[in-house]
Amino acid sequence: MSDSESESSGSESGSESGSESGSGSGSESPAPVVTKKATRKRAPKKKKTDGPKRPLSAYMFFCKKMRSVLKEENPELSFGALGKLLGQRWREIDADDREVYTDKAAQDKVRFANEGGVTGRASRKKKARVGPKRALSAYMFFSQAKRAEIKEENPDYGFGEMGRAIGSAWKECVGSEREKYVKMAADDKIRYKDELKEHGDKTAAAAAAAAEESSDESEAASGSGSGSDSD
């Protein structure tokens, strides 16, 4: 082999070994795997209730017992459909079966009272009324008289359904029955006018007294000021 051939072969072997060593040294190391820490979801805080647990109605005791039974018999029913079915079954039960739930409701009400609970309007904070209570219409008197009756017959009714039921019953209320509520409204209108006049007189008298007192104070202040100037 000539000197030129040996040189060329040497340079080729050197370049190959250099490329191999370069590729080996320049290879990238695998990126470290970052593991995410599992985050715990905080359970929503329960609202604190002031006072004892409110008493349940007879219908609510019935629902507590029958909801799971009806759900098992009708698993395809939605929440709303199940509520309507419960209301239908409640209307269909006889007086003896209903009395069982009525007694439970009465006992729960006694329990609530013994634990210091307050029911009805006494549990609500009343706002100070300015002036007399406004007069009610004939329909409003009718609504007050019939709402509880319609609610008992249809315990599953919502607010809107209840309003429509009362409106329908009012349309059917004619003759002497309707005249009774018309008279109640007329009497209440007179009551409102009388109380409004009395309230206006009291307000005017109070305003006049306040104005007179303010005038006396200003005159006294003015007199004391003039006296100091003279000195």
Residue type, position 200, single letter: G
> Is the CATH number 2.30.30.100 carried by domain 132-222?
no
Q: How many residues does the chain have?
A: 231
Residues 86-135 have pLDDT tens digits of 888 898 888 888 888 888 888 888 888 888 777 655 555 556 667 788 88
State yes or no: pLDDT of 184 exceeds 90: yes
What does the domain layout of the chain look like in residue ranges? 52-117, 132-222
**52-117 CATH choice from 1.10.30.10, 3.10.20.740, 2.40.37.10, 3.40.50.300:** 1.10.30.10
Q: Do domains 52-117 and 132-222 have the same CATH topology?
A: yes
Rounded to two decimals, what is the model's pTM? 0.40
User: In this predicted structure, what is the pLDDT of residue 220?
Assistant: 58
